Amino acid sequence: MHSRFIFILCLFAALFQGSYSANKSPPSSSSVVFQVTGNVYPRGYYHVTMNIGNPPKPYWLDIDTGSDLTWLQCDVPCVKCLPAPHRPYKPNKDLVACTDPMCASVHWPETLECKSPKDQCDYEVQYADHGSSLGLMVKDWFPLQYINGSVAKPRLAFGCGYNQEVHSSMDPPYTDGVLGLGLGKSSILSQLNELGITRNIVGHCLGAQGDGFLFFGNELVPSSGVIWTPMSTTEIDKHYSLGTAELYVGGKASGIKDLPIVFDSGSTYTYFSAEAYKALVSTLMNDIKGKQLKTANDDKSLPLCWKGSKPFKSVQDVKNIFKPIMLSFAKSKYVRFQMDPEAYLIISERGNACLGILNGSEVGLENINLIGDISFHDKIIIYDNEKQQIGWAPANCKKLPNIDDDGDPDHGGLCKPYGSNLDILQAYCAA
């Protein structure tokens, strides 16, 4: 997530500066789009730039549909802040109280006990990779520009993190924090919807070659070609769960069924449960017999890598050797999520092909199967919380869907230079 192409909103005093009242319906044109920067390998994450405060300052946030809480590294002062692209955020005095319902949402499912109504709302969030953030909840302005050029300036709650930890074996993302886009009330998406700023819909498009876009609202959802499946609300609370699926490799059933599937943009790679992982590796190893590939045990980029007679330059070099992987969903007949080799392989710096699907039981995921960024490559993924469904479709993530003045995709309207969007639009529309 580190290219210097940053989507920064330039706000002028003449533009609307007020926040919306609670539970107001979103305006007819209420979608917001962000440039996404990053890649799966070698960076290992994707970020957007959010402008926060008054005057607004830019911060790089890791996109995470697998968690609710948005947080920034924060100088209150820092107990332990990690290297980051910008100085730690300096909070104002607008703290979230312990008695605020937002605080209860952050602490769910644990019961929150407040000793005094004036107590601040502390938080601690822990991630599957053993990273964590500890801090307090605050509120500040988040200026956002709609795709029609108008501006909203909601005041949102987020975490002010003064103590961040990462696992000793990992390089921490070079970002200022995390953009939590999960299902809980504390997520930025839920807050924006509650204030009537945007619809409760989020989508992302992550390019296999890097970069892409993120959007809030419904105007960038393709009108056709999207495969939809209902969210499963009973499986895994507060995560984007799609229910259970059966694993196919190369069009053949693996015999592995009832796999609980969760979509999580905060995970770089995809994780299968132990049984599914072993079945997949066994099938892939059988398929490549006699194909002049050898296991590259000396390449530690990922747990399983293969080398050829000469270094590979891209996944295209091995596309005819590796077969598509498919998840067939039990709830929705004929609904399948396909992962071509580009969606589960990376080419390491040594020129080897490495498997970007890992054993989730080794990181404590147990039977959950987490679909991460690598498997979202060159697809638009839509999380529609209003209709309780998740959808996907093939997409060119290097090109923003064009929007006309009626909010209708593919008619060129977004390629008009709307002030603060000028740089991002020139880059996309010149193509």
Catalytic residue list: 64, 264
Using alpha carbons, list the distances in angstroms from residue 297 to 225, 292, 353, 415: 41, 16, 12, 48
Instruction: Check residue 284 and report its DSSP letter.
Output: H
Q: What is the largest CA-CA distance in the chain?
A: 70
Residue 370's nearest CA partner among 250, 256, 252, 245 is: 245
CB 31 within 8 Å of CB 144: no
What is the layout of strands, in order, in the sheet containing 305-307? 294-295, 305-307, 353-355, 345-347
CB 429 within 8 Å of CB 417: no
CB 162 within 8 Å of CB 78: yes
Number of residues that this document lists for the chain: 431
CB 414 within 8 Å of CB 400: yes
- Exposure letters 375-391 (e unless 16+ CB within 10 A, then b): bbbbbbbbbbbeeebbb
Helix (H, G, I), strand (E, B) or coil at 415: helix
Helix (H) or strand (E) holding 139: strand 132-141
Using alpha carbons, list the distances in angstroms from residue 165 to 63, 122, 328, 365: 18, 16, 37, 20
**Where are the strands (E) in 168-211, listed by range?**
177-180, 201-206
Whole-angstrom Cα distance, residue 217 to residue 308? 45
The DSSP bridge partners found for residue 214 are 34, 204
